């Protein structure tokens, strides 16, 4: 399956070709979600990210079909919630996701968060089966620590192509990123502008202005320049355009270092207080 047009910048990982820019759809609902997905695809986005937990897969599918873009040109990711990680339940969950999306397969199926209540070997075995049955072209994980990545790679019978993690300049994810790269996995950044916090940062604003760009664009550029996939979420068309305009400039080595220095211990913005949350690196 051809995943993404050749002229869309992408990351290659274990047979997957993941467009560097995607649309995150967390918290988008109903007609707004369908409209934003349609508009993003019409603007040239070729990567859409959703999840079972977002309760919007049906609208994501509607937006995709309304866009008129060929299925083979769009990379679609969804994620299974940890409560459905028992093997039979995971396979049922994958089929439920496809039914809501109105698709015969997704390009990438992820485990949304770790679940220590279900043995990882059982969950990954079921995930591999889902891929072998043709329901997902690729499989991956999300919110996995270095230790969990190492464990998963020893267990999985199918390639794990990525780890989707919270990733932005205010959070040091260097250990997890290094582990992914060591094993040829892609890094996909959710909340890449720290839920809007990047827009108010003076360093990012100054560096962006030097390139005729916004603080958010400088932030996204910082990530894609490291070959990290970004999936910013927005409900506004003007933001869709702004977030996409990050491939026509480059940050200098000094600018990259200055942005890297923004990381601080309290930088995480997504920290779930449930039993499946791992001890972060």
Q: Give me the active site residues, please.
A: 54
Q: Which candidate, 155, 106, 98, places its Cα nearest to that of 128?
A: 155
How far the first Cα of the chain sits from its last, in Å, is: 35
Q: Positive or negative, the Cα torsion across 193, 199, 204, 210? A: positive
Q: Please say whether the beta carbons of 56 and 235 come within 8 A.
A: no
Give the C-alpha separation, 191 to 195, whole Å: 6
Retrieve residue 153's tokens.
């790679």
Q: Which candidate, 151, 89, 140, 92, places its Cα nearest to that of 116?
A: 151
24: Cβ contacts below 8 Å, ≥ 6 apart: 49, 190, 191, 231, 232, 233
Q: Please say whether the beta carbons of 63 and 37 come within 8 A.
A: yes
């Amino acid at each position: 399956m051809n995943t993404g047009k050749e002229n869309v910048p992408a990351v290659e990982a274990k047979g997957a070709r993941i467009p560097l820019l995607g649309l995150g759809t967390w918290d988008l609902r109903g007609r707004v979600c369908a409209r934003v997905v349609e508009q993003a695809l019409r603007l040239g986005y070729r990567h859409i990210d959703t999840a079972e937990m977002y309760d919007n897969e049906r609208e994501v599918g509607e937006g995709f079909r309304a866009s008129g873009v060929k299925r083979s040109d769009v990379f679609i990711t969804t994620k299974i919630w940890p409560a459905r990680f028992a093997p039979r339940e995971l396979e049922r969950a994958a089929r439920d996701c496809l039914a809501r999306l109105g698709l015969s397969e997704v390009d990438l199926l992820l485990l949304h968060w770790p679940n220590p209540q279900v043995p990882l070997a059982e969950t990954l075995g079921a995930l591999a089966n889902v891929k072998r049955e043709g329901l997902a072209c690729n499989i991956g994980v999300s919110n996995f620590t270095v230790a969990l990545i190492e464990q998963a790679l020893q267990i999985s019978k199918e390639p794990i192509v990525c780890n989707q993690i919270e990733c932005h300049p205010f959070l040091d994810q260097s250990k997890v990123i290094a582990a992914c790269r060591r094993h040829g996995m892609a890094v996909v950044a959710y909340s890449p502008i720290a839920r809007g916090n990047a827009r108010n940062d003076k360093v990012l604003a100054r560096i962006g202005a030097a390139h005729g760009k916004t603080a958010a664009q400088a932030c996204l550029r910082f990530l894609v320049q490291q070959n990290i996939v970004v999936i910013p979420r927005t409900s506004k068309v003007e933001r869709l355009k702004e977030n996409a305009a990050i491939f026509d400039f480059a940050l200098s080595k000094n600018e990259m270092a200055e942005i890297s220095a923004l990381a601080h211990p309290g930088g995480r913005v997504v920290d779930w207080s449930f039993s499946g949350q791992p001890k972060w690196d």
